[in-house]
Chains A and B, each alone.
Chain A
Amino acid sequence: MTDLTKLTIAGARDAMRNGETSSAEITAACLSAIEGSGALNAFVHNTPEIATAQAAAADARIKAGDAPDMCGIPLGIKDLFCTKGVPSQAASRILEGFKPEYESTVTSQLFGAGAVMLGKLNMDEFAMGSSNETSVYGDAVNPWKVDDRALTPGGSSGGSAAAVAADLCLAATGTDTGGSIRQPAAFTGITGLKPTYGRVSRWGVVAFASSLDQAGPMTKDVRDAAIMLEAMCGYDPKDSTSADLAVPNFEAALTGDIKGKVIGIPKEYRMDGMPAEIAKLWDDGTAMLKDAGAVIKDITLPHTKYALPAYYVIAPAEASSNLARYDGVRFGHRATLAAGDGITEMYEKTRAEGFGHEVQRRVMVGTYVLSAGFYDAYYNRARRVRALIKRDFDNVFADGVDAILTPATPSAAFGLGEMTEADPIQMYLNDVFTVTVNLAGLPGIAVPTGTDASGLPLGLQLIGRPWEEADLLNVAYSLEQSAGFVAKPNKWW
C-alpha cells in the first residue's frame, strides 16, 4: 500500500485486520512524515521508541484476533495531556523539564486500546489562545497555504490540527475550553468533536478552566471521530465530574439517515458584518440537511451575545485558581533567586519568568474578578448569565430541536502575526460561535464543508443535546456525505 499516512482510522483498522499492512508499517511512515515536517512545528516532543514498541505490541494483538478498533493506530497527543515519562509542559516555560510520573486517563485508555503515541503536539500555552501563537515552542503552522503568508492552524489545539491535516498522524487528541478543538479543525479542513461536559475524564489533563475543559478527538472524518471518541470516554472515579453513563457504540449510529430530524438555525449567530462566504456556507449546509430529509427550524438563543464576555470572566477566574499550583516548589521551573530573596520573591519571579504574556494577563484578570469587592459584580454575574445561556439551549431542545447548525468560525485561517497588534478582544472573537457550547456543557462538532474564495477550508458546527453524541455524529455524518469535502493541502513543507 502507498501513502499509509493518508489512511483514516477506519481504513487503517480494516487494512491491518486484513493483513494488508501493519501498525509497524503505518507507524514508520508517520515517523518519517514527522521528520520531514519541521516547518509546520506541529510535533514538539517526538517519541519514536515508544511508538515503535507500541506498534509491535499492537501487531501481535491484531494477529491474535479480537483487537479493539484503535489498536495499532498512530496518534499525536496534545502537550496538555500528562504522559508518563514523556515531557508534558502545556507549551509553557513554567513546566520545562516536567515529566509526569503518571498517565492521563484519556491517554491511558487510548494506549490500553492499543493506540500508538508518535509524540506530543504544539498548542497555545495552557490552551489559552486561538492561533497557537502563545506557545513556548513557537507558532505551529497551517499546512494550508494560498500565498506567501504562513497561516495559523488555529488554537489552542493548533499542533493537533496541523498534524492531522498534514497526514503526520492518523488522528490526534485535542482539548476544548472555548473552541480549541472546533476552531482549529475548521481552519485546517478536518473534523473536531468536543463531547458533552463530563463525557471524557479530565484526570491528568493540565487544567485551564475546569468547568469548561473537555478533551475530544481531532480526525480526518466523522467516522474516525466516532471510533476515537468511544475509546476516550467513560466513567472515571478520579474525575469527580465524570459521568457514570454507558458508552454507546458511536460508529454504529452512523446510518446517514436524518429524515425527520429537527435542525435549529439560531438567528443570533447571523452576526452583523458576517462575511458573505460564511453566510453562504451556512445556507448551503442548511440546504444539504434539508435535502437529506431534516426539518429546518428557525430558533432563537437570546443570550448568545453575552457568551464571550461571560466566558472571559469565568475562564480566567478558574485559570487563576488552577494555575496557582505553578509556584516553583513541587515541579517545573523555579527562578534563580538573588541574595536575600524570600519565598514571595520566589513565587513572583518564577511566575513572571515561567508564564507567557497571555497567560499572565488571564491569571491577573481572573485574580481581579475574584478579588474582594468585585466577586459579585463580575464572577457571580457571569455565572448567572451562564445559567441563562444554558437555559436558552434547554428551551430549544425542549421544543423538539435535535441539533443546531452554525458556522464554526467567523473567517478562514488568518496569517500568523496578523493579530499581534490587535487588542486581545479581537482574538477572543474567534470563539464567538463555539464558546456558548462550553458554557452550556453541550457536545459540538466542526465538519469541513467548503472553502473560501482563496481555497482555504471552512467548517460548520453542529451542536447536540447533552449526552447524545451518537445522534450528533450521525447528523454530522450526513452533512459530511452531502458536502463531499475532500480537498487536502498541497505539500510545501
Chain B
Amino acid sequence: MSIDTQTARRVAKLARIQVEDDALPALAAEFSAILGFIEQLNEVDVDGIEPMTSVTPQRLKRRDDVVTDGDQQPAVLKNAPDAREGFFAVPKVVE
C-alpha cells in the first residue's frame, strides 16, 4: 500500500509528533516501504488461528486489593520539567 502525504500527516498528528510539511513526502515514502514489507503477511493462511495474547501459557496472578505504596509526592515530582505546589504544571488545557 502506498501512503500519501495526507495520511503521513494524519499519522504524525495521531502520534503527537510534529512533522514539518516539507518532511512529509520522505516520511510517506518510508512508510510505504515498510508497509510494503509487512504486506507479505497477506500470503499466510491464518484461518482459524487466534491472535496471540500471551507467548507463555500463564494465568496472570492476582494480588490483594490493598495499598502497597504511596506517600512519595516529592519522589514522584522529582523529575518533572515543571512542578509547582505539589502538582505537575502544564499549559492551560481548558479555556
Contact = CB atoms under 8 A, between A and B. Distances in A.
Partners in one complex: yes
Contacts of B76: 101, 330
Contacts, number: 168
A241 interface: yes
B37 A198 contact: no
Contacts of B61: 237, 240, 244
Interface string B52-77: 11111010110100000000100110
A466 B52 contact: no
A197 B80 contact: no
A330 B79 contact: yes
Main secondary structure of the interface of B (DSSP, over half): loop
Contact of B15 (A320, A380, A440): A320
Contacts of B14: 367, 371
Interface in B3-31: 3, 7-8, 11-19, 27, 30-31
Interface string A332-368: 1110010001111111110110010000110111011
Contact of A240 (B7, B16, B60): B60
Contacts of A93: none
Contact of A330 (B31, B40, B42, B80): B80
B51 to A, nearest CB: 3
Contacts of A428: 37
A237 B63 contact: yes
B86 interface: no
A424 interface: yes
A382 B35 CA distance: 12
A331 interface: yes
B16 A385 contact: no
A384 B49 contact: yes
A420 B2 CA distance: 23
A347 B50 CA distance: 36
Contact of A197 (B12, B55, B72): B55
B82 A334 contact: yes
B56 A360 contact: no
A115 B60 CA distance: 31
Interface in A197-245: 197-198, 211, 237, 240-241, 243-244
A425 interface: yes
Which of B15, B27, B53 lies at the interface centre, i.e. has the most chain A CB atoms within 10 A of its CB? B15
Interface string A266-280: 000000000000000
B53 to A, nearest CB: 8
Contacts of A98: 79
Interface in A422-437: 423-425, 428
A252 interface: no
Interface stretch (A31-39, A171-179, A386-394): A386-394
A440 B46 CA distance: 17
Contacts of B38: 309, 312-313, 369, 378, 382
B41 A309 contact: yes
Given A384-B50, A387-B51, A329 B81 contact: yes
Of B13, B19, B51, B53, chain A has the most CB atoms within 10 Å of the CB of B51
A351 B16 contact: yes
Contacts of B91: 337, 341-343, 345-346
A384 B37 contact: no
B59 to A, nearest CB: 10
B93 A329 contact: no
Interface centre among A337, A384, A388 (most CB of B within 10 A): A384
A237 to B, nearest CB: 7
A457 interface: no
A440 B55 contact: yes
- Chain A CB count within 10 A is highest, among B18, B49, B80, B88, for B18
B92 interface: yes
A345 B13 CA distance: 10
A31 to B, nearest CB: 28
Contact of A368 (B31, B56, B75, B93): B31
Contacts of A361: 27, 30, 34
A383 to B, nearest CB: 3
Given A198-B56, A306-B40, A344 B63 contact: no
Contacts of B49: 384, 387-388
Contacts of A100: 79
A363 B51 contact: no
B81 A343 contact: no
A45 interface: no
A192 to B, nearest CB: 20
B79 A367 contact: no
Contacts of B93: 342-343
Contacts of A241: 54, 56, 58, 60
A447 B80 CA distance: 43
Given A313-B41, A364-B27, 9 more contacts: A306-B40, A328-B81, A332-B81, A365-B35, A367-B11, A367-B15, A368-B7, A383-B51, A428-B37
Smallest CB-CB A-B distances: 6 pairs: A441-B55, A383-B51, A334-B81, A331-B79, A384-B46, A348-B18
12 contacts: A101-B78, A237-B63, A241-B58, A244-B61, A337-B91, A345-B91, A348-B13, A360-B17, A361-B27, A384-B52, A387-B50, A387-B51
